[in-house]
Amino acid sequence: MKLPISVVINTFQAERYLDLVLRSVVDHVEEIVVCDMYSDDRTVEIAEKFGAKVVFHDRVGYVEPARKFAVDQSNQPWVLILDADEVLSPRLWDEFAKLLDGKCADIIEFHWLNYMFGAPMFGAGFEPDRDVHGRLFLREAVTLHSEVHQGLRPVDGMRVTRIPFSDELCVHHFTYLSAEDFIGRVNKYTSVEAGQVFESEKVNFGRVFRKLGRDFWKRMVVKGGNKIGWQGLSVSLLMLANDAMKFAKILELQNGASGESVLAAHRKIAEEKLKN
């Protein structure tokens, strides 16, 4: 029997794993909603093949506004939010069915096992015991926010249940294929995050150096990145680059160094040099 759940998946150029994601849910839920940002690959074709309700949202650079819109298009009492690279373990459905039948939870949390560069991440800050989300919920149990990385907020008084982690009771999250893939995908997020930080606080050189050094040490040593091979080192370095990119963009904003203003300054310098 299918569960009274709407699976909501936001997509953009998501053909890599979307068929696997949909295979992991299609036989278990009453509704699948795919909200696409006008992909020009096979994303929509794949979604329609699995019987998903496909809706569209303008490209806004990050998922949160489109996710809120997509949830509003769904019609089941329970909502399960997935990304287009997240595959559910089959046994999770047995746990979901028990919890829904028992009416003992309003929000159900479970664990993510992240894969980067072909390996499961059991360190470097991405270990599954730290990566827990309440992505299955009664629609009245949470509020959704449009700001990047703000996600879901439980409504006060809601009952939260957590499913313990195992390899058979988690979401398998297939993330970055390479360093190039990582940098291309995080560039837009760091721009948005830099704008949010710029509006609320100031950044100075001392804070930048302390945070970058401390976070790299924590990922490599405290959180065991050094124990998971070259992938652990790569992930730690890339997260360092992610934070450095964000701080560089904040410093640009604080100093009014937009692309247009720098171009004007460069042209002025060139004009002066030509006079000599």
Residue 218 DSSP class: I
Residue 13's pLDDT is what?
94
Say if residues 45 and 54 touch (Cβ distance below 8 Å): no
The backbone torsions φ and ψ at residue 131, rounded to the nearest 5 degrees and listed phi first, read: -100, 85
pTM for the predicted model, two decimal places: 0.83
Question: Rounded distance, CA 118 to CA 58, Å?
Answer: 32
Q: Which run of H or E residues covers position 6?
A: strand 3-11
Say if residues 31 and 78 touch (Cβ distance below 8 Å): no
Q: Which two tokens stand for residue 275?
A: 């006079």
Residue 276's pLDDT is what?
67
Q: Which two tokens stand for residue 200?
A: 């609320």
List the one residue out of 71, 1, 64 whose CA is nearest residue 32: 71
Q: Is domain 3-174 classified as CATH 3.90.550.10?
A: yes
pLDDT tens over the chain, length 276 residues: 899 999 999 999 999 999 999 999 999 999 999 999 999 999 999 999 999 999 999 988 678 889 989 999 999 999 999 999 999 999 999 999 999 999 999 999 999 999 998 889 888 888 888 899 999 999 999 998 766 656 788 999 999 999 999 999 999 999 988 888 888 878 877 887 887 776 667 777 788 888 888 989 888 888 888 888 888 898 899 989 888 988 888 888 888 888 888 888 898 999 998 986
Using DSSP's 3-state secondary structure scheme, residue 222 falls into: helix
Q: Which two tokens stand for residue 49?
A: 């093949």
Using DSSP's 3-state secondary structure scheme, residue 123 falls into: coil
Residue 142's pLDDT is what?
94
- How deeply is 30 buried, as exposed, middle or buried, from its count of CB atoms within 10 A (0-12, 13-18, 19+)? middle
Question: Rounded distance, CA 161 to CA 98, Å?
Answer: 12
Using DSSP's 3-state secondary structure scheme, residue 210 falls into: helix
Q: Return the number of other C-beta atoms located less than 10 Å from residue 65's C-beta.
A: 18
Domain boundaries, the chain: 3-174, 179-266
Q: Which run of H or E residues covers position 138?
A: strand 132-138
Question: Rounded distance, CA 34 to CA 50, Å?
Answer: 10
Say if residues 102 and 38 touch (Cβ distance below 8 Å): no
